Chains A and B, each alone.
Chain A
Amino acid sequence: MAGKGGSAPATYSPSPTVQKKKTSIFQEDWVRPDGRGFHQCRPAFFRTGAVNAASGSAYAEFGNTKIIVSVFGPRESKKAMMYSDIGRLNCNVSYTTFASPVRGQGSDHKEYTAMLHKALEGAIILESFPKTTVDVFALVLESGGSDLPVVISCASLALADAGIMMYDLVASVSVSCLSKNLVIDPIFEEENSQDGSLMITCMPSRYEITQLTFTGEWSTPKIDEGMQLCLDACAKLAKIMRSCLKEAASDSQE
């Protein structure tokens, strides 16, 4: 059935093409499609121990964005690697074929792997596992917007579940600039019509930023406002992550 001839036939999806409703954003009374306030994040759901086969794992659900992250290790580094007296971090982010509304589109985010690596690198105490590697693998089950920040937060929860030593939990939030408004935790449609975006990954208890990414046009007062929004949201997100870990620990003690 699947193997009819060598090449796959060309197919198209019968869904209507998404029209960019960019004009409506310029209206004064524009409301976010899911009814949230401009400075309101989506409700966050976390659960650790989602994957039995991994040393540590976590599942995160922020609205329609669903991510699973597995952590393996510390385990033997590849034989080809040079000796290293600090540990190594290896990351990978991949999408399922059904993550985006149209099959196959929107899964071209190869840079997320490198960005996840840079975000987590600063927070992990690499000296605690010399000569070995910790692998962090993320799978995006459904992409509903703001994927990378959710992946980073979920990855740090999975690392905590695996018992990897870190300086602090890492929380990440992004903000989109839509004409004059700043909206936090954008969904897919908002990200597509944004003029600029800002993503901050920080360690809230230490008030230190591990990664900061700007795209698009930003003026200095907007930058200040955006960063403050993100840092406040990260602090709240870290509280939610901590309570999830505490719940999991108390459940396992019973």
Chain B
Amino acid sequence: MGFPDASKDLSSEMEVDAFRRLFPLKYFERHLAEAIRPDGRPLGKARDTTVVLGAVASANGSALVKIGSTTMLTAIKMEVMTPSLESPDEGCIAIDFHMPPICSPIVRPGRPAEAAPVISKQLSDTISSSGSIDLKELSLVTGKAAWMAYLDVYCLDADGALFDAALLSAVAALSHLQIPAVAMNDDGKIVLLSEDDGQKKAQEPVNKEKRNLTLRSIPFSLTCILHKNYILVDPTAEEESIMETVVTIALDTSGQLVSLYKPGGPVLAFTSAIQDCVALTRQRVKELKGILEEANSTMQVE
């Protein structure tokens, strides 16, 4: 083949960059052979993760999450709806994932990225099947009014492992969510209770005070790339584009499997590979749980 001999001394910066662009797979495999990746991480290590709660002041709950360079901003806005006839004492959560054109060179305005509706559906499936939220908590007046929580996740910078960051930010925003205190006024509409309200006597408080949602068993996820015999944890966008086999595993805090997602790819996933991925995910769940708890306790101190 016409590629330069790998043992040739790549002395100048330019040649390394050119090699990386022209023969990306060879470039990565040279690193994998030394059990390391171009950004210096060992194969099983995820990138630095930070969670900041309350990033959007006007929303009822919000979170800004960064995993390496991948940045997600989630905001939850609560509106009132009439519950359906089949479940008159349940509210609703509408999860939507957006990839605005700022986040990546592959997204064009007017043409949503292919990944966006896939991740959107994955998110709503994962959160509903993890059973972390009891929709009955979102009810206001049985049969007449219930909360509709609009959870919008925006990707601000797309650098691989989008689903992990999106799930973490959705879950962080839900843990930060404060349901406002409301009352029903004479017209049968729900209105916000304000502190200086003189006419409070006429309104019956439906929610006495602001309260948080109780989250049982929070789901966390980890995306891995399978390439030959290697398992790379938390890929960057460059790694995802070169090595195409991606496996995403979501576990909840009690260790139960919530979802396993392997959309095709040239590498077959044998049982051993999947088990290794699950073990890596288990470690990551502990890390993420710690990060989220720290973020929550920092919020409460303030």
Contact = CB atoms under 8 A, between A and B. Distances in A.
Interface in B33-84: 56, 58-59, 62, 69, 71, 73, 75, 77-82, 84
Contacts, number: 121
Interface in B135-188: 135, 148, 150, 152, 154, 156-159, 180, 182
Contacts of A101: 58
B180 A14 contact: yes
Interface in A97-119: 97-98, 101, 103
Interface stretch (B6-14, B94-102, B251-259): B94-102
Contact of A9 (B82, B95, B105, B158): B82
Interface stretch (B190-198, B260-268, B292-300): B190-198
A157 interface: no
A78 to B, nearest CB: 9
B232 interface: no
A14 B140 CA distance: 12
B102 A138 contact: yes
A contact face: mostly helix, strand, loop, or mixed: loop
Contacts of B84: 4-5, 9
B79 A137 contact: no
Contacts of A142: 56, 58
Nearest to B190: A14
A53 B127 contact: no
B134 to A, nearest CB: 12
Contacts of B94: 1-2, 8
A11 B128 CA distance: 21
Contact of A54 (B79, B93, B102, B180): B102
Interface string A1-26: 11111001111111110000000000
A9 B58 CA distance: 23
A2 B124 contact: yes
A66 to B, nearest CB: 9
Interface stretch (A68-76, A225-233, A246-254): A68-76
A50 B154 CA distance: 15
Interface centre among B78, B98, B157, B159 (most CB of A within 10 A): B157
Interface string B259-292: 0000000000000000000000000000000000
B103 A51 contact: yes
A96 B194 contact: no
B233 interface: no
A137 B108 CA distance: 9
A144 B192 CA distance: 22
A138 B109 CA distance: 10
Contacts of A48: none
11 contacts: A2-B94, A2-B124, A9-B84, A10-B82, A13-B77, A14-B80, A52-B159, A72-B105, A135-B101, A139-B100, A142-B56
Given A14-B79, A97-B96, A137-B109, 17 more contacts: A1-B92, A1-B95, A2-B94, A2-B96, A9-B81, A9-B84, A14-B80, A52-B69, A68-B156, A70-B103, A75-B105, A92-B101, A94-B100, A98-B62, A135-B101, A139-B156, A142-B58
